[in-house]
Amino acid sequence: MIASFSDITERRSAELQARELDKRFRLIVENIADYGIFMLDPSGIVISWNLGAERIKGYSSAQIIGKHFSIFYTDEDRDDGKPARELKIASESNRFEEEGWRVRSDGSQFWANVVINAVRDDQGNLLGFAKVSRDLTERMRAEQALATANSLRLSILDASPFTIVTTDPEGIIQSMNPAAERLLGFSATELVGTATPSAFYDPHQIETRAAELSAELGKPIAAGFEVFVHKARSGGVDENEWTFIRKDQSRIPVHGVVTALRDATGSISGFLGIAYDVTERKRREEYTRHVAHHDYLTALPNRTLLHDRMERAFQRARRDDACVTTMMIDLDHFKRINDSLGHHVGDEVLKVIAQRILSCVRGSDTVARMGGDEFAVVMESAVGDDGAERVAAEIIERVSRPVYVGSHSLQVTASIGISRYPEDGANMQQLLMSADSAMYRAKSEGRKAYRLFSREMAHEARTKMVMEGALRQAIANNEFRMHYQPQISLSTGDIVGVEALLRWDSPLLGAIPPDQFIPLAEESDLIEVIGDWVLTTACREVRILERRIGHSVRVAVNLSARQFRQINLVDRIKTVLRDTGMLPCNLELEITEGVLMAHTSQTQSQLSELRELGVKIAIDDFGVGFSSLSYITQFPISTLKIDRSFVNHLPGAAADAAVTEAIMALGRSLGINVVAEGVETLAQLEFLRTRQIDAAQGPLIGTPAVAEHFSVQGFHFGEAISIESLTAEFDAMQRDSRKRIAILH
């Protein structure tokens, strides 16, 4: 027996150390929580299991050891033979790695990174497999989200109707979306890599913007890429309108926004430019601007645009020491066309006239429509240039040529007033007012003419303005009074009636004759209020007089043509009659031939209604107008008043005498009263008395002349007097009848 001993202390300790190491290593492996680490035998049975595996897969080592590892796979993978295939690969090439879905003990799935290594002994025999797996679900989800976000972003960029271009920090184009390609006409490949400003911007615009920006920021900004990104660079957003130049050189207005792109550290990694086409918006803006500045009918500039043009013309005139001429053009009697043929015909005429006026001026002059049938022309010229008058004459000539609308051939004439800057007004309002005064002068002097504004017109215009202001206060301030002028019967010498005449004593302007302020009241709307006051006062005062003297007195009240345009005129008169108790047959309304000539259906029906009411109608100032006899027979007229201008020249002037006789004969044969106005002398009275006797013996001989048939009114018998004086006059006549008879001798 041979015993050999060898000292194995060292080996033993090495073995112990190795075992200790092994134990520690196993401890480490077992306790690793992030990785699932486990061993399989060559057939795939789990033989060891660590903490990580337990955490990831949800099985405890007691549950899993001895089970086949294919339970970690999804049903499909298992049916597909995936577990066995993986082991085969690992045994053949020692290693298998993949990422894929695995199943936890609770059936839920997770995305795993799996590495399978073959484990062999020294001879190379397969001992089993070491499998390491990791749960990558979180990471995978994050990646998926990122991918989705990316594709979403790309599709947004692609589908976006906005032009989107990115550049690097220096402005080299990095990308552009399909909308950018469409808008610019360049493909991305043509532009990516080129420098931004030069690619599709207008260099002039860049310079302008650079200058603006420099001024805004108070420091020089170079006319280059910096212009676009300066604001974005300092954290702002740059928003501007630009014009892009397309590949085909056409231009397109865009609205653009530039922002800086920043990386994770916050430093600028590039710029993002977004722009969209604003052609349509510009077009709409342009349209709106046009509508706001032009007349819809004639497409001429309107008052607003005229104002702009005039302001600019004034500036130039001041600078160049030049002159600005303004014309106000008003069509004569244009209303008649509208009234008789309708507004559509009127509109067509206005369009034609607008073109004709335009054809008389230079392209640099402005023709504007001021509303209705009023036009204005503004012309710039050198001082002393009288071209404006030639133009005005030309306009008058061209406007008056016939206008054909449908089957109508119409003639329109124009009256023009001319004023000059700076002599006739320092601003648009004054200048137009001056031209207006001159235009009214042209109208009052016969129309179809032009007049230059003059100092005296300025004075008149100013007086008119002051007077109008005072007139507005007059009723409230109790400045009006009524005076009455007697009308005396030629046959009896009785006062058969009185004419009520308005008197205005203005504390500011003194006594103003009605000839001056009545036309002014007619121009403004004051005549209606004043007319009401006159009617009411006259009826009221005469009623008091009637009660005092015990018999009725006819009162004639003047009505202006304007009052006939009041729709409720008849109602107003009825109200006054009712309120004052005046008998309708004692009220006579004096109208002029003009009212009859206007001859609207409204006038006609108003006159008929008044007649039905029993109110009388007198034609004032008869003979000076152009009324034909037919008017007199057509309308329910009760009195003709021979105008003062005829009576004035009696008895000497043969023509006036003839007219007077004719009117008297006419009145007699139609059974209409005749009043001769403005009898100042005994000679005039004598003339009228003999003619009265002749007329009375004329066609209707034998018919006793009614006291009222012929009467006279004038200074010879007395001026218009207050109601108190008139009352005294009646009283005196009643007391002494000789006084009455004496009147006629």
Residues 603-622 that bind Mg ion (CB under 5 A): 620-621
Q: Does 596 bind ligand C2E (CB under 6 A)?
A: no
Binding partner of residue 546 among Mg ion, ligand C2E, none, CB cut-off 5 to 8 Å per kind: none
Q: Does 193 bind ligand C2E (CB under 6 A)?
A: no
What backbone torsions phi and psi does residue 117 show, to the nearest 5 degrees? -110, 135
Tell me which stretch binds ligand C2E (CB under 6 A): 164-172, 201-209, 284-292, 709-717: 709-717
Query: What are the structure tokens assigned to 60, written together?
Result: 């405890």
The binder of ligand C2E chosen from 323, 418, 457, 534 (CB under 6 A): 534
Tell me which stretch binds ligand C2E (CB under 6 A): 33-41, 95-103, 206-214, 714-722: 714-722
Query: What are the structure tokens assigned to 697, written together?
Result: 């013996």
The binder of Mg ion chosen from 381, 558, 560, 566 (CB under 5 A): 558
From residue 180, give the alpha-carbon distance in Å to each of 151, 195, 243, 410: 19, 15, 14, 59
Query: What are the structure tokens assigned to 480, written together?
Result: 């009006």
Neighbours of 138 (CB within 10 A): 10
CB of 291 vs Mg ion, minimal distance in Å? 50
C-beta of 200 vs 564, nearer to ligand C2E: 564
Q: What is residue 559's DSSP assignment?
A: -
Binding partner of residue 513 among ligand C2E, Mg ion, none, CB cut-off 5 to 8 Å per kind: ligand C2E
The binder of ligand C2E chosen from 220, 236, 342, 513 (CB under 6 A): 513
Q: Closest by alpha carbon to 43, among 69, 79, 72, 80?
A: 69
* Contact yes or no for 523/444 (Cβ under 8 A): no
Q: Does 590 bind ligand C2E (CB under 6 A)?
A: yes
Binding partner of residue 380 among ligand C2E, Mg ion, none, CB cut-off 5 to 8 Å per kind: none
Q: In 104-233, where do the E strands start and end?
A: 109-120, 126-135, 163-167, 173-176
With CB under 6 A, what is the number of residues at the site for ligand C2E? 23
CB of 399 vs ligand C2E, minimal distance in Å? 33
The binder of ligand C2E chosen from 287, 523, 715, 734 (CB under 6 A): 715
C-beta of 410 vs 624, nearer to Mg ion: 624
Binding-site string for Mg ion from residue 177 to residue 216, where x marks contact by CB under 5 A and - marks none? ----------------------------------------
Q: How far apart are CA 329 and CA 451, in angstroms?
A: 11
Q: Closest by alpha carbon to 677, among 705, 717, 708?
A: 717
Q: How far apart are CA 227 and CA 208, in angstroms?
A: 10
The binder of ligand C2E chosen from 58, 100, 224, 514 (CB under 6 A): 514
* Contact yes or no for 534/482 (Cβ under 8 A): yes
Q: Does 593 bind Mg ion (CB under 5 A)?
A: no
C-beta of 287 vs 715, nearer to ligand C2E: 715
Residues 461-500 that bind ligand C2E (CB under 6 A): 485
Residues 66-95 that bind ligand C2E (CB under 6 A): none
C-beta of 329 vs 501, nearer to ligand C2E: 501
Q: Closest by alpha carbon to 322, among 268, 366, 381, 365?
A: 381
Write out the H or E segment, with its range, that includes residue 725: helix 723-735
CB of 623 vs ligand C2E, minimal distance in Å? 12
Q: C-alpha angle with apex 19: 18 to 23, nearest 5 degrees?
A: 115
Q: How far apart are CA 562 and CA 217, in angstroms?
A: 64
Could you tell me the maximum CA-CA distance found in the chain, to the nearest angstrom? 203
Residues 572-591 that bind Mg ion (CB under 5 A): 590
**Number of helices (H) and strands (E), helices first, in the chain?**
29, 26
C-beta of 555 vs 723, nearer to Mg ion: 555
Half-sphere exposure (Cβ direction) of 235: Cα atoms closer than 13 Å: 1
Write out the H or E segment, with its range, that includes residue 48: strand 46-49
CB of 656 vs Mg ion, minimal distance in Å? 15
Residues 662-701 that bind Mg ion (CB under 5 A): 677
The binder of ligand C2E chosen from 501, 659, 676, 723 (CB under 6 A): 501
Neighbours of 72 (CB within 10 A): 27
C-beta of 651 vs 698, nearer to ligand C2E: 651
* Contact yes or no for 399/455 (Cβ under 8 A): no
Q: How far apart are CA 110 and CA 61, in angstroms?
A: 19
The binder of ligand C2E chosen from 87, 502, 595, 676 (CB under 6 A): 502
Residues 634-653 that bind ligand C2E (CB under 6 A): 644
C-beta of 169 vs 625, nearer to ligand C2E: 625
Output the DSSP codes for 155-186.
HHHHH-SSEEEEE-TT-BEEEE-HHHHHHHS-
Tell me which stretch binds ligand C2E (CB under 6 A): 47-55, 102-110, 147-155, 553-561: 553-561
From residue 624, give the alpha-carbon distance in Å to each of 36, 82, 159: 125, 124, 83
Q: How far apart are CA 512 and CA 525, in angstroms?
A: 19
* Contact yes or no for 59/105 (Cβ under 8 A): yes
The binder of ligand C2E chosen from 54, 295, 621, 708 (CB under 6 A): 621
Tell me which stretch binds ligand C2E (CB under 6 A): 109-117, 202-210, 212-220, 554-562: 554-562
Q: Closest by alpha carbon to 231, among 255, 245, 213?
A: 213
CB of 310 vs ligand C2E, minimal distance in Å? 38
Q: Does 546 bind ligand C2E (CB under 6 A)?
A: no
Q: How many residues does the chain have?
A: 745
Q: What is residue 31's DSSP assignment?
A: H
Angle between helices 526-549 and 455-474 (to 10 degrees): 50
From residue 162, give the alpha-carbon distance in Å to each of 152, 182, 249, 273: 16, 10, 20, 10
Binding-site string for Mg ion from residue 299 to residue 328, where x marks contact by CB under 5 A and - marks none? ------------------------------
Q: Does 566 bind ligand C2E (CB under 6 A)?
A: no
CB of 664 vs ligand C2E, minimal distance in Å? 18
Name the pairing type of β-strands 36-40 and 323-331. Answer: unpaired
Residues 369-398 that bind ligand C2E (CB under 6 A): none
C-beta of 611 vs 644, nearer to ligand C2E: 644
CB of 609 vs ligand C2E, minimal distance in Å? 20
Q: Does 541 bind ligand C2E (CB under 6 A)?
A: no
Q: Does 273 bind ligand C2E (CB under 6 A)?
A: no
Query: What are the structure tokens assigned to 42, written together?
Result: 């060559």
Q: Does 419 bind Mg ion (CB under 5 A)?
A: no
From residue 161, give the alpha-carbon distance in Å to each of 155, 156, 183: 12, 9, 10
C-beta of 353 vs 642, nearer to ligand C2E: 642
Q: Does 263 bind ligand C2E (CB under 6 A)?
A: no
Which positions touch Mg ion (CB under 5 A)?
558, 590, 620-621, 677
Which positions touch ligand C2E (CB under 6 A)?
485, 501-502, 513-515, 518, 534, 558-560, 590, 620-621, 644, 677-680, 713-715, 720
